[in-house]
Chains A and B, each alone.
Chain A
Amino acid sequence: MLNKLAIALIFFGVIFSAIFASFIPIDWTNFSISIVVLIIGISLQRRGMKNALKTETNKNNTLDDFREQIIKLKKAVEKYSENLSSEISENIDEEISSIMPEVENFRFAIVEEIGVANFTELISVYAKGERLIRRAVSATIDEYFEDAKRYFKDSVNLLEKSVEMIDKFREEIK
């Protein structure tokens, strides 16, 4: 209910503030009222999002979920670092993509849990590992299997480091 009200206020706040800003000369009084409505809507929306995170049913895409997905990815990467062949080169991009965590979906919840600076630190390390995995995929598609295995192997260290960082942040939260 709160979220619907917030969206309605944002919707009308944007429309009317844009209309009153477009007047020649600008209708400052009505523009100011519209901006206040917009800001109230945004405040309600942000409060609603924070409340939603606190309820158990909405705790998706949290730090723990991210950790789980990294471990799953690490297991797959370890497998590829041992065994690669031309049979899998056509499908490897799809297979890796299907298990790679989508960072954008985790952002809001994780930032709420550990703060933006820690999130940046964590993703910086994870993204380096991710890049090596993507490079390994490109090398596999191009059938440079020995290089691809090496990239996969190197990425495992970075994924492990990401998990260690998550564990450290979880300890700090406790």
Chain B
Amino acid sequence: MSAIKKYKTYSDVTPLGVAVGIFIGVLMTASFSYAALVLGFSTNGSPVAAVLGWGIMRAIFKRGTIIENNIIQTVASGINTSTAGVIFTVPVLLIRGANFDFIWVLAACVAGAILGVGFIIPLRKQMIDIDRLRFPSGTAIASILKSPAEGMKKSKLLIYGAALSATVYLITRFPDLGLPQIIPSSFDLNSIIGLPPYFKNIWAVSLLSVGIGYIAGRNGLFVLAGGLLAYWLIAPFFIGFNLLPENVEIAKAADFVHSQMTRPVGIGMLIGGSLMSIVLIIPAIKATIKSFNVKAISGAGSDELSIKVLYKVIAAAFVLFLLAGYFTSDIDFLTAVIVSVVSTFWLMFAGIIVSQATGMTDWTPISGMSLIAVAILMMFLTPEQISTAVLIGAGVSVAIAESADMMQDLKTGHLVGNFPVQQQKLQLFVAGLGPVISLSVMLLIWNSGGTDPVTGAKLPGFGPGTEIEAPQAVALGATIDAVQNGDVPVAKFLTGAIIGGALSFTAIPGLGVIMGISMYLSMKYILPYGLGSLISVFMIRRKGKKWSEKWAVPFAAGLILGEALLIIVFALLKVGGVI
């Protein structure tokens, strides 16, 4: 398919492309924010942004190139990606009736967004050029960007995949549309094969997960292995041999093992695995930074954003972060400095952990890293200073999400030949917009609670007892209570970190991170994801890697696209009050 040329030379960053990216990003952020409050999870908007960007540019403006569309998708997801960071944390302040100033929450989130992007940029070369991390969604998006112009066969595969996954997702949502349930959103395979209930065998009906698993390939098998270890070996072992504390009910035993026993070990493995990975690549990072300002022979200027500019941006964002923490609660300046420094180190480290996990598996353990951030901060603050802990925690969450998204977009850029410096500048420029939209939507919904007809008191718009439960914020509230009661599984984190650190030295780079994330995740998504990886390994053996890249990856990208598109449609229907 021929491109519709409007430029003398091949275009990348154009004012129109940036404007379209901002438009799509704002729309997605508003709808995702609402969906995240209701459902407790957000989704990667990049595949949808890529398709919408292409559609808008070609259908309305009659122009657009692959690289320009990569820029649109970078901008849109750079705005949208902060949704989870804001919605999983800030609502807890409203639910608990804490005193805070909206403007400082916004400042912390904007600072977090900039710090997240700023800190991860120096690691692009390491993760993408040198380690060649797969970034399954980034790879899928590159396939989406190239497909429309690469000939009808690939486009058809993408469309078939999208149609199939969208149809399946639509059928699973029939009850929301007042239609009879034909396919449930998940099913328990044990009800068919008769295994005991503590062998978690629940499968999400999610072709998106299958598609991501396919593109993750062999790494996905290690995720599956970790899941099987946690859910099919450790849980049955403890329940079967009756090794649980006496007060645990049998019906809730499997959930207890996951939340109190294997999940903390998994989080520790993630941390230990990442820490050791960083130690192992220190010589490479040094060489990377040394080569940072080398001019490209192409004459296109430096490939990376200048390290001096980065230092300045990071310093400015840090000052904003510090001020937000200082002015939110009644704390002295020294404590504010300590809290800001500790948080900044954690967000840098957690950003690397999440980016590595995303690169290898496509899973982003943002909520776990955010909970740890708040737990760390609570060690320096009193219960009365909870607003500062949550506010800084929100900034950290936004930062982590931005780090992972930046790297994902840079991977796509690498595959289509974009210059990283352009993506980096734009993501730094727009990253602060997302929190503005998310926080506005959150306040709008909070204020829509109305008043009690009897007492005249203002009613909450979300939280326990309302239609919008804000489950992640409630979970954060429970963590805060646990920290205040001294109930943090530090020893489990430590043991996990030792295992994860050791696994980083095996022949499989990042094995500690991969296994850690699989012990942290819910089994119902691990199983379809693992199925996708199994299919990938099988097809590569049967048909070869080239065949897989040529034909199966566009189809898998379609599977991701179709379901992601429908998730957004349903979020919009919710926002509009249609369902």
Contact = CB atoms under 8 A, between A and B. Distances in A.
Contacts of A23: 243, 261
Contacts of A19: 233-234, 237
B502 A38 contact: yes
Given A143-B2, A144-B3, A128 B130 contact: no
Contacts of A24: 244-245, 260-261
Given A46-B505, A138-B65, A17 B499 contact: yes
B496 interface: yes
B284 A116 contact: yes
B297 interface: yes
A31 B491 CA distance: 12
A42 B499 contact: no
A124 B291 contact: yes
B416 A21 contact: no
Contacts of B519: 18
A139 B230 CA distance: 47
Interface in A123-174: 123-124, 127-128, 131-139, 141-144, 147-148, 151, 154-155, 157-158, 161
A120 B288 contact: yes
Given A121-B291, A124-B287, A18 B2 contact: no
B485 interface: no
A144 B65 contact: yes
B151 A120 contact: no
Given A19-B237, A22-B234, A24-B260, A138 B67 contact: yes
B150 A93 contact: yes
A135 B549 contact: no
A127 B129 contact: yes
Which of B125, B294, B297 has its CB near the most chain A CB atoms (within 10 A)?
B297
Q: How large is the interface on B (under 10, 10 to 19, 20 to 34, 35 or more residues)?
A: 35 or more
Contacts of B268: 21
A35 interface: yes
A116 B502 CA distance: 20
B262 A86 contact: no
B446 interface: no
Contacts of B129: 103, 123-124, 127
A22 B261 contact: yes
Contact of A97 (B67, B287, B546): B546
Contacts of B498: 17, 35
Contacts of A132: 298, 417
A141 B66 contact: yes
B296 A142 contact: no
Which of B238, B257, B416 has its CB near the most chain A CB atoms (within 10 A)?
B416
Contacts of B503: 14, 38, 42
Contacts of A26: 491-492, 495
Which of A35, A42, A103, A135 has its CB near the most chain B CB atoms (within 10 A)?
A135
B416 A18 contact: no
Contact of B65 (A89, A93, A142): A142
Given A24-B261, A120-B130, A134 B65 contact: no
Contact of A124 (B243, B288, B506, B515): B288
A128 B234 contact: no
B149 interface: yes
B259 to A, nearest CB: 12
B425 interface: no
B496 A21 contact: yes
A123 B567 CA distance: 39
Interface in A5-28: 10, 13-15, 17-19, 21-26
B130 A131 contact: no
Nearest to B266: A18
Interface in A88-106: 89-90, 93-94, 97-98, 102-104
A80 to B, nearest CB: 14
A49 interface: yes
A45 interface: yes
A142 B267 CA distance: 45
A127 B417 CA distance: 10
Contact of B234 (A18, A86, A116, A117): A18
A24 B253 CA distance: 14
Nearest to B296: A128
A109 interface: no
B515 A135 contact: no
Interface string A23-50: 1111000010001001100100110010
Contacts of B333: none
Contacts of B130: 103, 107, 119-120, 123-124, 127
Contact of A131 (B260, B303, B507): B303
Given A15-B233, A19-B237, A116-B284, A144 B414 contact: no
A14 B416 contact: no
A98 B546 CA distance: 7
B152 to A, nearest CB: 9
A141 B229 contact: no
Contacts of A39: 502
Nearest to A145: B10
B417 A143 contact: no
A97 B10 CA distance: 21
Contacts of A31: 495
A158 B3 contact: no
B502 A42 contact: yes
Contacts of A131: 303, 414, 417-419
A171 B489 CA distance: 54
B262 A18 contact: yes
Contacts of A120: 125-126, 130, 283-284, 287-288, 291
Interface of B: 2-3, 5, 9-10, 65-67, 125-126, 128-132, 146, 149-151, 229-230, 233-234, 237-238, 243-245, 257, 260-262, 265, 268, 281, 283-284, 286-288, 291, 294, 296-299, 303, 414-419, 491-492, 495-496, 498-499, 502-503, 505-507, 515, 519, 546, 549-550
22 contacts: A15-B229, A17-B498, A19-B237, A22-B257, A22-B265, A24-B260, A31-B495, A38-B503, A42-B502, A46-B505, A94-B546, A98-B546, A103-B129, A104-B132, A116-B284, A116-B287, A117-B286, A120-B125, A134-B415, A134-B417, A135-B416, A135-B419
Given A18-B234, A120-B291, 12 more contacts: A18-B262, A21-B495, A21-B499, A24-B260, A26-B495, A107-B130, A116-B284, A119-B284, A124-B130, A131-B418, A134-B417, A151-B298
| 4 closest residue pairs by CB, A with B | A135-B417, A134-B417, A21-B495, A127-B129
